Chain A
């Protein structure tokens, strides 16, 4: 059974720092891995999707990597800004279901001005 873990649960850093969020999964048989952002009282915004055949994806200051063999993904945020404060979630669809998503509990990120 697929399990997704995100460490740390919370992270607080000064503005301008580069940072890395971690996501690990127990079953390497995945279609893809997605990173989402969740703002308080709002829905989920898809940030990056990495297909199982890819090693990384980039969007602006965000870079996500995927290492299937070790069951890990990282989300790198460069030059962090207060507006990056949110909860970041990773999710994977297991091979036996191409529509369900198995979610991590998220990392709550606070960027201090």
Chain B
């Protein structure tokens, strides 16, 4: 079991470009969560997804950010028209319902 796989590990984008972050949950896990960690701050919840459904996106900015977890393939966090303030570490976690989280190694996004 490879655990939660996130790629890429590091991503550099120029202002205005799009960033796509991928997360493959642990085998058998159907719940995926995305968190963002800004420099020197704690992690902040962004979105909770199950296969083909967004359950809670209350932590996601209303504009430019979107997330999906299709029936086949990884969960994708998409940031359009990135700005410098989007620079952060983005962590994905997965779980079976009612059980603890397993986190991935994160994607570190740098906007230049």
Q: Which residues of A contact B59 (CB under 8 A)?
A: 100
A20 touches B (CB below 8 Å): no
Q: Which residues of B contact A99 (CB under 8 A)?
A: 31, 33, 48, 56, 95
**CA of A65 to CA of B45 in the docked complex: distance in angstroms?**
25
For chain B, which range describes its interface: under 10, 10 to 19, 20 to 34, or 35 or more residues?
Answer: 20 to 34
**CA of A36 to CA of B95 in the docked complex: distance in angstroms?**
16
Q: Which residue of B lies closest to A32 (CB)?
A: B100
Supposing A99-B48, A100-B48 touch, asked if A44 and B91 sit within 8 A by C-beta, the answer is: yes
**CA of A12 to CA of B66 in the docked complex: distance in angstroms?**
40
Most buried by A among B33, B42, B44, B103: B42
Contact A89 B105 (CB under 8 A): no
Contact B43 A43 (CB under 8 A): no
Q: Which of A52-60, A72-80, A102-110 contacts B (4 or more CB under 8 A)?
A: A102-110
A70 touches B (CB below 8 Å): no
B65 touches A (CB below 8 Å): no
Q: Which residue of B lies closest to A99 (CB)?
A: B48
Q: Which of B4, B42, B44 contacts A43 (CB 8 A)?
A: B4
Contact A106 B42 (CB under 8 A): yes
Supposing A42-B105, A100-B48 touch, asked if A105 and B42 sit within 8 A by C-beta, the answer is: yes
**CA of A74 to CA of B91 in the docked complex: distance in angstroms?**
25
B residues touching A (Cβ–Cβ < 8 Å)?
Answer: 4, 6, 9, 31, 33, 35, 40-45, 48, 56, 59, 91, 93, 95, 100-106, 108
A residues touching B (Cβ–Cβ < 8 Å)?
Answer: 4, 34, 36, 41-46, 49, 89, 91, 97, 99-106
List 5 extra interface pairs beyond A43-B105, A46-B101, A101-B45, CB under 8 A. Answer: A41-B105, A43-B91, A100-B45, A103-B43, A105-B40
